[in-house]
Structure 1
Amino acid sequence: MIPEPARIAVDTAIDDALARLADRAKGHGDSMTALTAAVSAATAGGKRLRPQLVVGSFLAVGGDLERAPGLYPVAAAFELLHSAFVIHDDVIDHDVTRRGVPNVAGRFRMRARAQGADSRGAALLGDAAAILAGDLLLHEATRMVALADTPDAQRSRLLDLLDEAVFVSAAGELADVENSVTPELAEQDEILAATFNKTAVYSFTAPLCAGAILAGAPSTWITDLERIGGSLGLAFQLVDDLIGAFGTAEQAGKDAGSDLRESKRTPLIALARDSAQWPLVTSTLAVAHTGPIAVREAQSALEASGARERLRRLIDENLADVRRRASRSTLPPRAVTLVDTLATAVEERIP
């Protein structure tokens, strides 16, 4: 999506930020050294979608890589923000692995057990370490934007973007958890709102707008990208919900059908409620945690309810809206092409 030199520059900015944290940890004991090592491991690899969106948007609206020294730290900041949210999300979901290897909480649980802690103490240390790791990355992301070599007016707008992204994501995560613990299933629009807030702003809207701001794009283009990013982000998260229910373990980064095992109340489940098969769906979901056979039965019930097909239509509608908005906007042709490429990439993830 972006030129190789730009990708390398983003990776270098991320590595430099992590190295700064590791260097600071040296004077604060072995546990902090272990924490920053866990942070680096949690941030390693991945597609680094959000930094690519920052740089891709910057280039698509006419930005010059030779005249934007603050571009790469800002792009890197969005990857650190993503890593922080992932680490905190694992704490909320009580996950101790990610993509088959121990996450921050898992590493520190192992560390605690090696030091003689019981299971309760190991869980306490694991969760505490993960929360603190996410906090460090949130602060580092903000610091990188605040210190980026950009004009003051741009920096202020970028910090506003980051502020909104953090706040809205927190609101979405809180609503998502609250929906999961209340006896009654929330209304479909409430579940969709939580889904949107969790991902769309920080993953798509803010990075796309950040790149355009750094390029000095007119406000009309930034407004267009904000609206397009929202629909892209919602479609992306809805695909994630399909992956969590029907995707492979490789796609999900955890056991296949993990969302069904954990009884997550996603838009997929909300759509099933309106069908005649809802009693069957609820009964199969109630035992999905017991193993692969029960997961397959829950998947079959959801298929029979029509929820999977309806969710797929909702994804298609959002992506059609993305392409329609881009084609009717005042965005330059390169930006319209970028939007179409992103919409296609979201489609290709559908299980």
Structure 2
Amino acid sequence: MMSKKSDSDNSIAKLIQQKALDLGYEKCGIIPVEMMAGYEEKFHERTQKVPESQPFYQNQQRLIRFQEDFDWAKSIVVLVKRYSKYHIPESLRGHIAKHYLTDSRINENTKEFQSSTALEQYMKELGLRTETNRKFGIVGVRWAALQAGLGMIRRNNFFYTESGSYISLEAFLTDCEMELIEKPNLPPCPPNCNRCMKACSTASLSDAYTMNPLRCISFLTTFGGRDLPNEPLASDFGDWIYGCDMCQDACPMNHNKWTGQNEFPGLSELEPYLTMENILEMDEDFYRQNIQPKFFYLSPDELWKWQVNVLNFMDNRYEDHFAPAIIKAQKSNYEQVRKMAGLISTKHGLHT
């Protein structure tokens, strides 16, 4: 049974919320750790609906068992930050997912990262013990945000606030019993709407609130898809080389939610290097110093994966001006790139 919270604990909760809003967060809610109890059932429900996804979710078991590592935790501070305010360069749109282009989780130059560390420091100054994992999360954050009343999960599995789904969620564990829960006032998904499912070219979204992560373009262009020449879904990636926005962009609840006025730190300087041809020409040192730290789902040794993804795009959207780059890629230092380029050259009748 949850113990009664004191007025002083509730006062601390309000101080944290106000500080978060002052730092630029869109929303802040706080839930007792007991409110995560239903997350395990939902977690296993996913693998029951799509049994082949079990290996994918295996590594995320830690999100269910977080109290085993942090038995001192009593509440969870849940935060929403909006990335739809940032401008996406035209040359990158539809090729690299917007969330990855504006990812602030470990980018110390961004206001969002600085706000996160400032809030953490503030909570410590209030006498709280805190813990977080900025890269990969420390709890099932969508479930936590749902329990905090910060928004809702829609049929495409993304979490929505009034700003749509172009938001990021963040969570801190604390050792203070607190509770600060909102009542969301969002309209439900339109009756019988299936635009997100129709937009998903690989049928990863097979039903409302259901997905097969092993068929997701975002997975297959980052963590997975390491044998694209033999990947039957590769031809369905379309223009995407890292991540995918199709189910979010198709959602009517995201209509006019992207404002895109602010410049994301460093993105305009990086843009010229992220063209298809320049990725194929990129050297390892530049990749390791400038690309991998930002797009950290691929390791410092996986420039070849970017290049194979680009070749797959060139195959899917083949035009004659791609031919020189594809032919040159047959002499790559990477076996995977040579193999992909050779298959595409044969398919399109290209000769060295």
Q: Which bracket does the TM-score occupy, shorter chain normalised?
A: 0.3 to 0.5
- Bigger CA radius of gyration: 2
Could you say which structure has the higher helix fraction? 1
Instruction: Please report the TM-score for the alignment, with normalisation by the length of structure 2.
Output: 0.32
Which structure would you say has the larger RCO, counting Cα contacts within 8 Å and 6 or more residues apart?
2
